[in-house]
Amino acid sequence: MSAHVEEHGHDDHGHHHKETFITKYIFSQDHKMIAKQYLITGLIMGIIAVVMSIMMRMQIAWPEESNPLFKALLGKWAPDGVMSADIYLALVTIHGTIMVFFVLTAGLSGTFSNLLIPLQIGARDMASGFLNMVSYWLFFTSSVIMVCSFFVEAGPAAAGWTIYPPLSALPMAQGGSGLGMTLWLVSMAIFIASSLLGSLNYVVTVINLRTKGMSMTRLPLTIWAFFVTAIIGIISFPVLLSAALLLIMDRSFGTSFFLSDIFIQGEVLHYQGGSPVLFEHLFWFLGHPEVYIVLLPALGITSEIIATNSRKPIFGYRAMVASILAIAFLSTIVWGHHMFISGMNPFLGSVFTFTTLLIAIPSAVKAFNYITTLWKGNLQMNPAMLFSIGLVSTFITGGLTGIILGDSALDINVHDTYFVVAHFHLVMGISALYGFFAGVYHWFPKMFGRMLNKNLGYVHFWVTAVCAYGVFFPMHFIGMAGLPRRYYTNTNFPLFDDLASVNVVITVFAIVGSIFQIVFIYNFFSSIFYGKKAEQNPWKSNTLEWTTPVEHMHGNWPGAIPHVHRWAYDYSKPGHDEDWVSQIVPLKEGEEELQH
């Protein structure tokens, strides 16, 4: 798998016809424009999901109190400003779905895979620009359908973001099991089609369109992460699609794949022979790889940013690649740890415990390699670097609690409590968001030709970092105290009265942290138009994307695509005047390529 085609199409690729507004900005086939579309759509969906999470936190902190925000945003589901139980579960469902799939999968992976894969491997564009465009528009369509479910009469899907049967399989079970649930399933089916088209495109592009000299061992770790993420998606997303299609058949065509011996108000339904646990197996076979579909791109982005801003070669390049591959493999054989209390055979539970604890090894390799890259580096503490270091912190703290949840004997005690919420929000939600923010701060000049305001970036990071731990650190303790998740109020349980004040503190941190995301949104949109003009290589980085002109052009490089002569991490290399050496600089006579 060595070097490949130098020219992809003609040198005047993309210049033989005048682009209209629609072909340039809406139905664009240019990977850089599609990356921006993914980014802005992901940001909008993220804002919607954060507003939902704030409403959930307010409800838990001040239950049964009238709230003007509820009255304004929820209407009939919050009579007199008091949230109903049904809409609380719907908020949990749609918040989780949007954050996991639409923000952290499509918003993160879709943005940076599209932007960086052609630029960092030396390609004119993706293997198929048309499929790339279709992939984005399917994602956009699924986003619209998901949001539209809030406007149906009976309300949006309300079975939790994991949509377990029977709540999701019986349209008559509750209000949110009706049309809202159908829209959820349709939206996710379209989203999966989008994800598969995108992933196939990424894999083919990385394998076939690398420039001359760009061997697999010279690829930046970002590309390794996107490449392996795409492969995981291709393997695991079709399983969720099959689960969704079988669920639609149970709902609409009288089958009983997931239903057995159901009673509603004393009436025996005709379903028999199905198993809700089968749905859990199908869902989590995607659900756990999904954690790494979300996390690996963020880890790849962090590798690039930490090496660049430490002015040092990344420590243990081959170990990092091996850990990405090991995580990809192990992530597909650990899904049962979500099901320890489903009546699983204890022996099978011990097998899943073993494979789950095994995945800590490649994860620890990545954490140690980040720390050793930072060690004694000439650190440039810009906002992208701060968010990358923040990711290392949350990845370690969230990962440590994963060891508890991965052990079947320990998990039973804290399963379905706030301990689980704290764990996966830190290790997956906050870590991936930090990777997302780091990527935006680092590659914003490449995307928009302007610089983000660094001081606003510092404010954004420090408030976000303090509030993220302020929200999720106390959750570990209320979880160990037994507080169950997904309950819209705990006032009926005197046992939890002492935890009410902790929930108020968590909610205050959540509100402050969310409000300060406005700093980032303002910085982002104002800098697109008024930011300081970017130079070609503002971070003095080695990778190929910084050899392209600041002004965007379809085809990335004017003239021939440059050839690659070295790996991506020649920082502070002896024998060179600068502390960085671009990948396109030939080796000097007698100079050895670093062993990595």
- The conformation of residue 428, written as its DSSP 8-state character, comes to I
Residues 6+ apart with CB under 8 A from 398: 423, 424, 425, 426, 427, 428, 430, 431
Q: What pLDDT sits at residue 5? A: 41
Give the separation between CA 177 and CA 155, rounded to whole angstroms.
9
User: For residue 537, is it within any domain?
Assistant: yes
The gap between the terminal CA atoms of the chain, to the nearest Å, is: 18
Closest CA to 184 of 236, 147, 233, 234: 147
Closest CA to 211 of 121, 302, 93, 134: 121
Give the torsion sign (CA, 493, 497, 501, 505): negative
Identify the CATH number of the domain in which residue 372 sits. 1.20.210.10
User: For residue 578, is it within any domain?
Assistant: no
User: For residue 112, is it within any domain?
Assistant: yes
Q: Based on C-alpha coordinates, what's the Rg of the chain? A: 24
- Return the amino acid letter for 342: S
| pLDDT tens string 17-45 | 577 878 777 888 999 999 999 999 999 99
User: For residue 311, is it within any domain?
Assistant: yes
User: For residue 18, is it within any domain?
Assistant: no
What are the φ/ψ torsions at residue 487 (nearest 5 degrees)? Answer: -85, 130
Closest CA to 98 of 45, 134, 33, 38: 45
Q: What pLDDT sits at residue 172? A: 86
Residues 6+ apart with CB under 8 A from 358: 330
Distance from CA of residue 318 to its chain's centroid? 24
Q: What's the token pair of residue 264?
A: 């509603």
User: For residue 536, is it within any domain?
Assistant: yes
Contact by Cβ (8 Å): 405, 414? yes
Q: What pLDDT sits at residue 595? A: 64
Q: Please count the structural domains in the chain.
A: 1
Give the separation between CA 21 and CA 194, rounded to whole angstroms.
24
Give the separation between CA 83 and CA 69, rounded to whole angstroms.
10
Contact by Cβ (8 Å): 234, 331? no
Residues 6+ apart with CB under 8 A from 273: 256, 260
Contact by Cβ (8 Å): 118, 556? yes
What are the φ/ψ torsions at residue 178 (nearest 5 degrees)? Answer: -90, -125
Q: What pLDDT sits at residue 269? A: 80
Sort 253 into a burial class: Cβ within 10 Å, 0-12 / 13-18 / 19+.
Answer: exposed
Give the separation between CA 1 and CA 7, rounded to whole angstroms.
17
Contact by Cβ (8 Å): 161, 146? no
User: For residue 561, is it within any domain?
Assistant: no
Q: What pLDDT sits at residue 553? A: 84
Residues (pLDDT < 50) of the chain are 1-16
Give the separation between CA 395 and CA 366, rounded to whole angstroms.
10
Give the separation between CA 332 and CA 335, rounded to whole angstroms.
7
Distances in whole angstroms, Cα of residue 229 to Cα of each of 236, 289, 444: 11, 9, 22
For 466, other C-beta atoms within 10 Å of its C-beta total 14
Give the separation between CA 121 and CA 124, rounded to whole angstroms.
9
pTM given for the model: 0.94
Q: What pLDDT sits at residue 204? A: 97
Give the separation between CA 318 and CA 325, rounded to whole angstroms.
11
Q: What pLDDT sits at residue 589? A: 85
Give the separation between CA 535 and CA 449, rounded to whole angstroms.
8
Torsion of CA 543, 548, 551, 554, to 10 degrees: -110
For 255, other C-beta atoms within 10 Å of its C-beta total 17
Contact by Cβ (8 Å): 548, 556? yes
Give the separation between CA 543 and CA 121, rounded to whole angstroms.
9
Distances in whole angstroms, Cα of residue 1 to Cα of each of 207, 213, 216, 218, 346: 7, 11, 7, 12, 44
Q: What element of type H or E holds 374?
A: helix 360-374
Contact by Cβ (8 Å): 303, 320? yes
Distances in whole angstroms, Cα of residue 366 to Cα of each of 154, 302, 324, 386: 46, 10, 9, 17
Q: What's the token pair of residue 75?
A: 């209407």
For 474, other C-beta atoms within 10 Å of its C-beta total 18
Give the separation between CA 218 and CA 13, rounded to whole angstroms.
26
For 124, other C-beta atoms within 10 Å of its C-beta total 23
User: For residue 11, is it within any domain?
Assistant: no
Residue 475 belongs to what domain range? Answer: 28-260+270-547
Distances in whole angstroms, Cα of residue 32 to Cα of each of 2, 118, 119, 151, 550: 25, 9, 9, 34, 12
Q: What pLDDT sits at residue 596? A: 65
Contact by Cβ (8 Å): 38, 111? yes
Q: What's the token pair of residue 291?
A: 């954690």
